[in-house]
Amino acid sequence: MPRSRRFLIGGVIIIAALSYMIYGGMQEAMVYFVTPSELKAKESTSADKFLRLGGMVVKGSLQKDLQNLTYRFNLTDGTATFPIFFKGVPPDLFAEGKGAVVEGRIGSDGVFQATTIMAKHAEEYSPHKDGGPPAKSFVPAKEASIK
Amino acid sequence: MTANLGHSSILLAWLIALLGIVTPIIAARTGEGRYLSIARYAIGGQFVLVTLAALALIYGLVTTDFSIKYVAFNTTRATPIYYRVTGLWGALEGSLLLWEWVLIIFAGITAWIYRDRHHEMMPWVIMIFSIVSAFFLGVVGFLSNPFETMLPVPLDGRGLNPLLEDANMMTHPPLLYTGFVGLTVPFAFAMAALIVGKLDEAWILTTRRWTIIAWFFLTAGNLVGAWWSYHVLGWGGYWAWDPVENAAFMPWLPATAFLHSIQVQERRRMLKVWNLSLIIVAFSLTIFGTFLTRSGILSSIHAFSSGPVGGFFLGFLTFILLGSFGLLAYRADLLKEQPELDSMVSRESAFLLNNIVLVSALFTIFLGTIFPLLSEAVAGVQVSVGAPYFNSVTVPLFLFLVFLMAIGPIIAWRRASWDNLQRSFLWPAAASLLLGLSLFMWKVRDFLPLLGFTLLAFVVFTIVYDTALALRARKRIAGEGIIRGLITLTRRNQRRYGGLVVHLGVVLIIMGIAGSMSYSVEKEATLALKQELQVGNYRVQFDGLKGTQQPTHFRVEGAFRVFHHGNDEGIMNPALKFFPTQQSPIGRAVHQSSLSEDIYLILSGFSELDRNQATLKVLVRPLVIWMWIGGFVITLGTLICILPMRMAQLSET
């Protein structure tokens, strides 16, 4: 076999393997971001899908049980609200009336079962002079910092 | 006053940088030496002025001159003096100034060291430095001015983000910037070589040491960043594949590839185009990283268009890519390769595979980082690509890289015979398989960690075995003992043995990553007084809460007695800090390390009334400490590579 053909075949194999890995990885790890209204609109088709849901924690909706570490609250985008259930420890910045993004899927009872809560980047942390405070700067609590 | 001094220095330096771009061209055209001298003075002038500007900003920060907006936003009267100084890189404007400062220091050193050498290339090297410098000075001078003043002058400043008030943050950005900027040196020489058309190995040999230094600072910067994340951010991890981290990590991959592939060019005159492309990509990624982290594009694609800095960076990036790859295409006829691979079983082929793997890793990480941006910009769909993507794609690649790390430094150049292979690898392979088997018998039953640890052992065994063979030869030839023999070997071939030590450091780091990725345990619970929680080999007992007023904040601290395998390891105090300037408390996680595992405590809540309840998250992470030890080993290896030692001139590879 001529050398150039061997390199070509090698290259094709490498690229194919890489594409397969990228595709598989993306399938596994790509998460769509939705708002409560978008989720309400396509609630039936979104069952079982792992999603990120972003909005504001409705004031007065937060019920926490510190013994069992469970949190129930509603997220709103102004037009629609969605009930959330979370078990675990929320980030420091998580509070009523503040922005939050939750990750998880809709449960059989119609409540969004969150596995992670990410609090909204507090505005005073935003280092961006240009453009002012970013519109949708949601980051996980662990990243809520300027680096 | 300070502000005026600083800003005018920047503007003047910018003008001088423009002079530094033009005069080398005239010097090269006319062949008149005095234009080159002007260009050298231009670098010197920029150096003085930028240093003046940086000192002015530091002076403003230290004296809390709140008429400067940047000072008001990044210090308070209560800020201790060292954090006032580090405020220089606490936010966008200052960190760009720091970048420019480091850049011009590198330019100055380069111009000074090579003042009597490389007469053909130096004008162009100075020109490339001046172009990059003019760009940063332009950004600092016109778009993102750290000396912007503020009226009325506030009584007190807002202060640095409390998370940045940490000793690591004093070192992490300067280390990283030194690494980024260090890559400018090989890049400038590569471009100069292309312009002049002197495409032999001269530019590579000249910048070899610079590349090693830049690589070291990139590595150190990323490691210290990981350590800061682990130590301060308080989520129990050190790496989240967050775009900011990826931006700092991406240049490391082509830089590492470059460090290996230039050895193939030195030795075998191959891969010329490839090496030039790698250094272009590595340098461009440093600019891209700054664009990514500093333009606001990450928080929202729309934030990008509203600020001028992002567009400016993108424009400069396009200019660099078009210019440098254009030059490469223009010189294509000079870059024809002669020798070809003799065999797939050879050192050059191992290095080639190493490069393919590193570039593949770069490509996948790049894709994962910018995919959400592309998706939002093109389709208007917001998605996020999480850590599972990066892990599932890069883990197999990095494992293969570990395997190559065992093969590459040992296997023969050109063509390795079956005999060679047996002699170098049979015993190490047998020993590592045995180790893998015992790990399996013990308790490591999952495929990836088992494969990982076996491969890591393979690397260590090949290095030890190869060195042992060399030592035996020294004993036979010169009757030298182990220590004496090691010294002779290292002196004869610093880069080889330094490189092997660096590899051992990398092995330790990957061991730490593999252990903590695969076998971490975490638990969270609300504990009453004296209640206990068992996590892995640790038992944690809640001993009470305490609140104290600190100079800058109110601190609530929990006391937890920790037992490891039943042994009392003392009290740990995770805390929550309440800053008056911040809306929410900042957690202060604590951890205790041992050689086998770390325990990490995060206080996340408490009962305000009777102080007899605390909500706690406990993580147990095996082997993490080896990552930091690996960092020190890499430092040692780098020093062995670059320090001038006697007999170094005898070195060959």
Q: Within 13 A of B643's CA, how many CA atoms are on the CB side?
A: 12
What is the percentage of chain B residues whose pLDDT exceeds 90?
55
Who has greater pLDDT, B26 or A129?
B26
Two tokens at B149? 């003043």
How does pLDDT run across B482-537, given as a tens digit for each residue?
Answer: 899 999 999 989 999 999 999 999 999 999 999 999 999 989 888 988 999 999 99
Print the SS3 string covering B447-461. HHHHHHHHHHHHHHH
Q: Alpha-carbon distance B23 to B25, whole Å?
A: 5
* Chain A residues lying within 8 Å of B229, measured CB to CB: 142
Q: Alpha-carbon distance B14 to A105, whole Å?
A: 54
pLDDT > 70? residue A146: no
B40 φ/ψ sector (left φ>0, alpha ψ -120 to 50, else beta)? alpha
Who has greater pLDDT, B377 or B281?
B281
* The domain over range B521-627 is classified in CATH as 2.60.98: yes
Q: Alpha-carbon distance B401 to B357, whole Å?
A: 7
pLDDT > 70? residue B162: no
Who has greater pLDDT, B296 or B398?
B398
Best of B230, B340, B389 to disrupt the A interface (most A CBs within 10 Å) is B389
Q: What is the mean pLDDT of residues A123-143?
A: 32
Q: How confident is the model at residue B372 (pLDDT cuts 50, 70, 90)?
A: confident
User: What's residue A120's pLDDT?
Assistant: 58
Q: Alpha-carbon distance B522 to A70, whole Å?
A: 17
Least confidently predicted of B261-265, B364-368, B413-417: B413-417
Establish if A95 touches chain B: CB-CB under 8 angstroms: yes
Q: How confident is the model at residue A139 (pLDDT cuts 50, 70, 90)?
A: very low
Who has greater pLDDT, A92 or B214?
B214
If one counts the domains in chain A, the total is: 2
pTM of the model: 0.89
Q: How confident is the model at residue B334 (pLDDT cuts 50, 70, 90)?
A: confident
Put simply, the answer to whether B615 touches A89 (Cβ < 8 Å) is yes
Q: What is the mean pLDDT of residues B219-223?
A: 94
User: What's residue A145's pLDDT?
Assistant: 32
Are the C-beta atoms of residues B403 and B353 closer than 8 Å to each other?
A: no
The size of the A-B interface in CB pairs under 8 A is 158
Q: How confident is the model at residue B309 (pLDDT cuts 50, 70, 90)?
A: confident
Domain that holds residue A79: 32-143
Q: Alpha-carbon distance B129 to B132, whole Å?
A: 5
Who has greater pLDDT, B221 or B237?
B221
Assess whether A67 and A92 both reside in one domain.
yes
Assess whether A72 and A107 both reside in one domain.
yes
- In 3D space, the residue among B564, B555, B562, B486 whose CA is nearest the CA of residue B527 turns out to be B562
Domain limits, chain B:
1-165, 521-627
Assess whether A88 and A98 both reside in one domain.
yes
Q: What is the mean pLDDT of residues A59-79?
A: 86
Helices and strands per DSSP (H, E), number in chain B: 21, 11
Scanning the structure block, which residue is given the tokens 């491969």? B455
How does pLDDT run across B528-550, given as a tens digit for each residue?
Answer: 889 999 999 999 999 989 888 88
- In 3D space, the residue among B466, B464, B446, B445 whose CA is nearest the CA of residue B456 turns out to be B464
Q: What is the mean pLDDT of residues B24-40?
A: 84
- In 3D space, the residue among B40, B80, B48 whose CA is nearest the CA of residue B64 turns out to be B80
How does pLDDT run across A72-104, given as a tens digit for each residue?
Answer: 999 988 888 899 999 887 877 788 888 888 888
User: What's residue B307's pLDDT?
Assistant: 64
Assess whether A37 and A24 both reside in one domain.
no
How does pLDDT run across B74-124, given as a tens digit for each residue?
Answer: 888 888 888 888 889 888 889 899 999 999 999 999 999 998 888 888 899
User: What's residue B328's pLDDT?
Assistant: 93
* Chain B residues lying within 8 Å of A32, measured CB to CB: 381-383
Q: Alpha-carbon distance A92 to A145, whole Å?
A: 12
Q: Alpha-carbon distance B234 to B603, whole Å?
A: 9
Least confidently predicted of B258-272, B423-437, B625-639: B258-272
pLDDT > 90? residue B19: yes
User: What's residue B612's pLDDT?
Assistant: 82
- In 3D space, the residue among A98, A147, A88 whose CA is nearest the CA of residue A119 turns out to be A98
Q: What is the mean pLDDT of residues A133-137?
A: 31
Assess whether A76 and A9 both reside in one domain.
no
Assess whether A57 and A10 both reside in one domain.
no
Assess whether A23 and A65 both reside in one domain.
no
pLDDT > 60? residue A122: no
From A123's Cα to the closest Cα of chain B, the distance in A is 10
Scanning the structure block, which residue is given the tokens 């000793």? B167
Best of A14, A57, A125, A130 to disrupt the B interface (most B CBs within 10 Å) is A130
Question: Considering only alpha carbons, which residue of chain B is nearest residue A124?
Answer: B582
Assess whether A11 and A56 both reside in one domain.
no
Q: What is the mean pLDDT of chain B?
A: 89
User: What's residue B338's pLDDT?
Assistant: 66
The SS3 of residue B600 is strand
Two tokens at B252? 């490391």
User: What's residue A109's pLDDT?
Assistant: 85
Report how far Cα B486 is from the mean position of its chain's Cα atoms.
30
| A97 class by beta-carbon count within 10 Å (0-12 exposed, 13-18 middle, 19+ buried) | exposed
Q: Within 13 A of A78's CA, how many CA atoms are on the CB side?
A: 0
pLDDT > 60? residue B180: yes
Are the C-beta atoms of residues B511 and B453 closer than 8 Å to each other?
A: yes
CATH code, domain carrying A96: 2.40.50.140
Q: How confident is the model at residue A1 (pLDDT cuts 50, 70, 90)?
A: low
Are the C-beta atoms of residues B183 and B286 closer than 8 Å to each other?
A: yes
Two tokens at B145? 């001015």
- In 3D space, the residue among B355, B283, B373 whose CA is nearest the CA of residue B319 turns out to be B283
DSSP annotation of B519: S
CA–CA distance from B81 to each of B75, B84, B86 (Å)? 10, 5, 9
- In 3D space, the residue among B417, B387, B273 whose CA is nearest the CA of residue B331 turns out to be B273
Q: Alpha-carbon distance A54 to A47, whole Å?
A: 17
Q: In the beta sheet, which residues pair with residue B538?
A: B535, B564
Two tokens at B607? 């009962």
What is the percentage of chain B residues whose pLDDT exceeds 70?
94
Question: Mind giving me the DSSP string for A113-130?
Answer: EEEEEEEBPPGGG----T
Assess whether A55 and A117 both reside in one domain.
yes
- In 3D space, the residue among A113, A145, A139 whose CA is nearest the CA of residue A127 turns out to be A145
pLDDT > 90? residue A25: no
CA–CA distance from B58 to each of B74, B150, B330 (Å)? 12, 17, 45
Put simply, the answer to whether A93 touches B605 (Cβ < 8 Å) is no
Q: In the beta sheet, which residues pair with residue B454?
A: none
The SS3 of residue B613 is strand
Scanning the structure block, which residue is given the tokens 């453009």? A131
Assess whether A108 and A91 both reside in one domain.
yes
Least confidently predicted of B34-48, B152-166, B632-646: B152-166
Establish if A30 touches chain B: CB-CB under 8 angstroms: yes
**Euclidean distance between the first and the last CA atom of chain A, given in angstroms as a whole number:** 53
Q: Alpha-carbon distance B31 to B19, whole Å?
A: 17
Query: Hey, how many other C-beta atoms are within 10 angstroms of the C-beta on A65?
Result: 11
Q: What is the mean pLDDT of residues B65-72?
A: 90
Assess whether A5 and A68 both reside in one domain.
no
CA–CA distance from B198 to each of B187, B192, B194 (Å)? 15, 8, 7
Assess whether A37 and A100 both reside in one domain.
yes
* Chain B residues lying within 8 Å of A130, measured CB to CB: 143-144, 295-296, 303, 306-310
Q: Are strands A99-106 and A112-119 parallel, antiparallel or unpaired?
A: antiparallel
Put simply, the answer to whether A21 touches B392 (Cβ < 8 Å) is yes
Q: What is the mean pLDDT of residues B460-485?
A: 92
pLDDT > 70? residue A126: no
Q: How confident is the model at residue A136 (pLDDT cuts 50, 70, 90)?
A: very low
Best of A37, A66, A118, A128 to disrupt the B interface (most B CBs within 10 Å) is A128
Chain A, 53 to 82: residues with Cβ < 8 Å from chain B are 66-67, 69
Helices and strands per DSSP (H, E), number in chain A: 2, 7
Handedness of CA B455, B389, B242, A118 (dihedral sign): negative
Q: At what angle do helices B494-518 and B387-407 cross, to 10 degrees?
A: 140
* Chain A residues lying within 8 Å of B392, measured CB to CB: 21, 24-25, 28-29
Q: Alpha-carbon distance B13 to B510, whole Å?
A: 44
Q: Alpha-carbon distance B55 to B48, whole Å?
A: 11
Q: What is the ipTM of this complex?
A: 0.73
